Amino acid sequence: MSDRRPLTAAVIGAGAGGTLSIDALLASDDFTLVAVADMSEAALERVRAKDSAIATYTSAEEMFAASPAEVVCVSTYAPTHLPLTRAALGIPGLKGLLVEKPLGDTTSAGTEILALIKEAGLPVVVPHGLMAQAAALEIVQRVRAGDIGPLRVVEIECTNWDIINAGIHWLQFFVALTGGEQVEFVLAATDSSTRTFRDGMQVETDAITMARTTSAVRVLMHTGDHVAMSRNDTVALFRIIGDDGFIEFGAYEGYYTLVTPDHRRVRVDVEQFAVSGHQRHLEHLAAQIADGTRDYSIPDSSLQALEIVEAAYESARVHGAVVLPIDGAQPDRPQDWNPGAPYAGVGGGRNGREL
């Protein structure tokens, strides 16, 4: 509940992510949803069924011209985020944006999106669900406070999803757990035998992604269409391991399990927030607009996660480690070296016994 004048808002894209923003905007006293754009007439009909006062358009350009709003939610698929953000920044009186994850289809696009928004001096939110979920936020606080000792490994199991569409949420959570520590390299392997696509992207059938930070904290993430899970009551399971204990957490659950020398295996229940994750993110945006503050911590960590995602797919393509930053120098990769094959004694190389 807010006594501020509601901000006018518009949403580009009425799919899964856009619908979450639409519902959040309709539920919040901080906003008046004035317009939605989508290429699908069926999607727009669903919007009109929610509130007939919402103007609907089949193109963002038409909506920007006819219904300029103070807040714009970019909720289309990733390759369109950069041109749509660029266009939205031209709206007179624009005060803030929501850009869905992933920020862009590449790290370069995501970097440009954040740079343009920051250059305009505007606030932006990227609605990562775990960053608006009470148990997940409490876990981040515990880990950063040292409750399980120095963080060493974050293990993630995730079924029915992939590196880019869900894994980016899990990797952003890893970045938050480390306090935004720089990732040194990413090494990943993927299988594409089933030619799976999801949310407009070609994705893996099965994959393992490993990344390591500068202080040697590792994330190990197993994603795929049918991952054999340790627990079958969650689509994603985290084991957050430190020197003095670990935390087990199922994504979006209202509890977690804490194991330390003082807690053999304790279930910690956390009171959940009263509103949806998208509403929390959007109301945080409204608060920044009202008081003039700027909080880019989640957008910046989202960009870090996007770079890990891009590096994972690149690693799988080149069959080698990808060093970050991803646009920096990369290792030479000999095409005539087959790990696991007998060494013929020719062709150069280095003796591993002498390292």
pLDDT of 215 > 60? The answer is yes
pLDDT digits (tens, 9 = 90+) for 239-290: 999 999 999 999 999 999 999 988 889 999 999 999 999 999 999 999 999 9
Strand 201-202 relative to strand 197-198, pairing:
antiparallel
**What is the chain's length?**
355
Strand 31-37 relative to strand 55-57, pairing:
parallel
Query: What pLDDT does residue 3 have?
Result: 61
Query: What pLDDT does residue 269 have?
Result: 98
Residue 33 CA to residue 28 CA, distance in Å, equals 10
Neighbours of 46 (CB within 10 A): 15
Residue 125 CA to residue 298 CA, distance in Å, equals 7
**Contact call for residues 163 and 223 (beta carbons, < 8 A):** yes
Neighbours of 262 (CB within 10 A): 10
DSSP 8-state assignment for residue 227 = -
**Contact call for residues 55 and 33 (beta carbons, < 8 A):** no
With pLDDT > 90 as the criterion, what percentage of the chain qualifies?
Answer: 91
| CB-neighbour burial class of residue 226 (10 A; exposed 0-12, middle 13-18, buried 19+) | exposed
Helical segments of 102-246, H only:
107-119, 134-145, 167-177
Task: Give the 3-state secondary structure of residue 128.
Answer: coil
Task: Assign domain 130-269 one CATH number from 3.20.20.120, 3.30.360.10, 2.60.40.10, 3.60.15.10.
Answer: 3.30.360.10
pTM here is 0.94
1 confidence band (pLDDT: 50, 70, 90) = very low
Query: What pLDDT does residue 2 have?
Result: 54
Please give the average per-residue pLDDT across 202-225, as a whole number: 97
pLDDT digits (tens, 9 = 90+) for 46-104: 999 999 999 999 999 999 999 999 999 999 989 999 999 999 999 999 999 999 999 99
Among 3, 2, 22, 4, smallest CA distance to 12 is for: 22
Query: What pLDDT does residue 336 have?
Result: 84
pLDDT digits (tens, 9 = 90+) for 121-171: 999 999 999 999 999 999 999 999 999 999 999 999 999 999 999 999 999
Q: Where are the domains of the chain?
A: 7-122, 130-269
Cβ neighbors of 235 (< 8 A, separation 6 or more) are: 158, 159, 160, 161, 166, 251
> To the nearest whole number, what is the mean pLDDT of the chain?
96
Please give the average per-residue pLDDT across 296-311, as a whole number: 98
Please give the average per-residue pLDDT across 207-216, as a whole number: 98
Dihedral (CA of 126, 127, 133, 134) sign = positive
**Contact call for residues 72 and 7 (beta carbons, < 8 A):** no
Cα angle 284, 288, 292 (rounded to 5 degrees) comes to: 170
Among 303, 301, 285, 296, smallest CA distance to 118 is for: 296
Peptide bond into 92 cis (omega under 30): no
DSSP 8-state assignment for residue 320 = S
- What is the biggest distance separating any 2 CA atoms in the chain, rounded to whole angstroms? 77
Place domain 7-122 in its CATH homologous superfamily: NAD(P)-binding Rossmann-like Domain (3.40.50.720)
Half-sphere exposure at residue 139, Cβ-oriented, CA atoms within 13 angstroms: 38
Peptide bond into 325 cis (omega under 30): yes
Strand 236-242 relative to strand 151-159, pairing:
antiparallel
Residue 205 CA to residue 301 CA, distance in Å, equals 26
Query: What pLDDT does residue 133 have?
Result: 97
